[in-house]
Structure 1
Amino acid sequence: MDQTKTIAALFDFDGVVMDTESQYSIFWNGVGKKYHPEYEEFGKMIKGQTLRQIYDRYFAGMEKEQEEITEALNRFEAQMKYEYVPGVVGFMRELHTQGVKIAIVTSSNEQKMQSVYAVHPELKELVDRILTAEMFTRSKPAPDCFLLGAEVFDTVPENCVVFEDSFHGLEAGNAAGMTVVGLSTTNPAEAIRDKCKLVIPDFTSFGYEKMKSLLA
């Protein structure tokens, strides 16, 4: 750890800050059944990807279908339940008292986040920055989004801790050269254990000292 640089905590959003992944699985599995019945669990396949990535990989040249999905997704996200992952609010507040910089680094777009702010206006006060899909060209599993997180705080990757739940997100954090903590909110702990330094079920028993010890 570079003692001359600040420590930064970089949080994915869905499945890490908000417990939304089960809702998205229902939506995207429904999309898969309608447009790609050849895939058994389409929702699991696209986790951690931006909407643009999903379209480029699975709906290339299907402009009408893309429009239909986008409209349905916008309606779905406007009505979703946004509930915090247990312990995350208290953990973020503790980090602030210790001078740790906090960013949400998400593959979600700004329109979706506006729906979140309508339900949780306090979210912007819990973090220092919110980095959305519009801010980086390559999304997870590329490391760009997390490297941007280090850049905006004028710190280095070795001082950053990434909190992720998806395989693409875990891969992105490792590719960025950062310490990665996995949340077993989306995938079983045994499935992600080899992709991170520590696996936790939520933040109820996790605090600043534990996080700092991972950087030592």
Structure 2
Amino acid sequence: MKQIKAALFDFDGVLANTEPLYDQYWDEAGIRYHTGIPHFAAVIKGTTMSNILKKYFSDRTEEERQQIQAESEAFESHMPFPPVPGSIEFVRMLKENGVQVGLVTSSENKKMKRAFKEMNLEGLFDTFVSENRITKGKPDPMCYLLAAEDLKRNPEDCIVFEDSFAGITAATRAGMRVIGLSTTNPEETLKDKVYKVIPNLQNCTFDDYLSWQK
């Protein structure tokens, strides 16, 4: 019998419903930092902080870049982590059925350490990839390829759960099948980029997961 594919999950917008909080913060920050980019949050969604600073603030002084990062970290230090309906239960159900599960995020360890504690995620994932382990963030496939390597799986033997365009591109470039969650972007903008679009993981069953492998 063929081995069941591993499941890799993004964090923001897939496990935690934090994207609305980020949208408000970064849209306001885009104005405050004079980026000149409308809806700045949508432009940077799914990318690492180091990439944001490099791509959009390379013309600023080192002091300004440090201030931008410090303000972002201060925001993340107290932000709540409301779970996306059904997501944590779905991950636990897969784990109970012998599926390898991994968490792949553009977030830093400091934020994720608090999230693991507050959301009771310690010991749940078989691998964890964050900004601290990668040199190229999403949409580069490095993060997902690293997770597959951790699990000793080929990329085609992994299913990825993503919500952002950058994350979907990263997983696709890695050669993985993607299930898109329309928690952040409308279904019609995702359906031509992923294997299947679902609103969230609430009420999804193990049979559903098996059907996504065919």
Q: TM-score, normalised by structure 1?
A: 0.93
1:49–1:168: 8 Å Cα contact kept in structure 2?
yes
Supply the RMSD in Å over aligned alpha carbons.
Answer: 1.5
Distance across 2 between alignment mates of 1:85 and 1:197: 20
**What are the superposed Cα offsets for residues 30-58 of structure 1, whole Å, 9 maximum, x if unpaired?**
11001135211001000011001000101
Distance across 1 between alignment mates of 2:66 and 2:135: 21
1:77–1:115: 8 Å Cα contact kept in structure 2?
no
Instruction: Show the counterpart of 1:124.
Output: 122
Write the letter of the residue equivalent to 2:5. Answer: I
Question: 2:80 aligned with 1:81, yes or no?
Answer: yes
Aligned residue for 1:124, secondary structure, equals coil
Structure 1 residues 40-49 or 72-81, which shifts more? 72-81
Q: 2:193 aligns with which of 165, 170, 195?
A: 195
Distance across 2 between alignment mates of 1:69 and 1:112: 16
Distance across 1 between alignment mates of 2:97 and 2:113: 29
2:126–2:151: 8 Å Cα contact kept in structure 1?
no
1:100-179 matches, cutoff 5 A: 100-120=99-119, 122-179=120-177
2:163–2:185: 8 Å Cα contact kept in structure 1?
yes
Residues 155, 6 of structure 1: alpha-carbon distance in 2 compared, 3 angstrom cutoff: farther
Distance across 2 between alignment mates of 1:71 and 1:139: 20
Shift of 1:115: 2.6
Shift of 1:68: 1.4
Distance across 2 between alignment mates of 1:91 and 1:125: 15
Instruction: Show the counterpart of 1:184.
Output: 182
Shift of 1:126: 2.5
Question: Which ranges of structure 1 fall in alignment gaps of 5 or more residues?
Answer: none
Aligned residue for 2:101, secondary structure, equals strand
**What are the superposed Cα offsets for residues 138-164 of structure 1, whole Å, 9 maximum, x if unpaired?**
111111111111111111112100000
Instruction: Show the counterpart of 2:47.
Output: 49
Task: Identify the structure with the greater helix proportion.
Answer: 1
Write the letter of the residue equivalent to 1:95. Answer: L
Aligned residue for 2:17, secondary structure, equals coil
Instruction: Show the counterpart of 1:11.
Output: 9
Residues 37, 157 of structure 1: alpha-carbon distance in 2 compared, 3 angstrom cutoff: closer
Aligned residue for 1:196, secondary structure, equals coil
1:25-64 matches, cutoff 5 A: 25-62=23-60, 63-64=62-63
Distance across 2 between alignment mates of 1:166 and 1:19: 13
Question: 2:66 aligned with 1:67, yes or no?
Answer: yes
Distance across 2 between alignment mates of 1:37 and 1:21: 20
Q: 1:209 aligns with which of 197, 207, 210?
A: 207
Distance across 2 between alignment mates of 1:198 and 1:205: 16
Question: Which ranges of structure 2 fall in alignment gaps of 5 or more residues?
Answer: none
Taking only the aligned residue pairs, the percentage that are identical comes to: 40
Distance across 1 between alignment mates of 2:40 and 2:20: 13
Shift of 1:119: 2.0
1:136–1:144: 8 Å Cα contact kept in structure 2?
yes
1:25–1:44: 8 Å Cα contact kept in structure 2?
yes
Shift of 1:75: 1.4
Distance across 2 between alignment mates of 1:37 and 1:54: 11
Distance across 2 between alignment mates of 1:37 and 1:145: 28
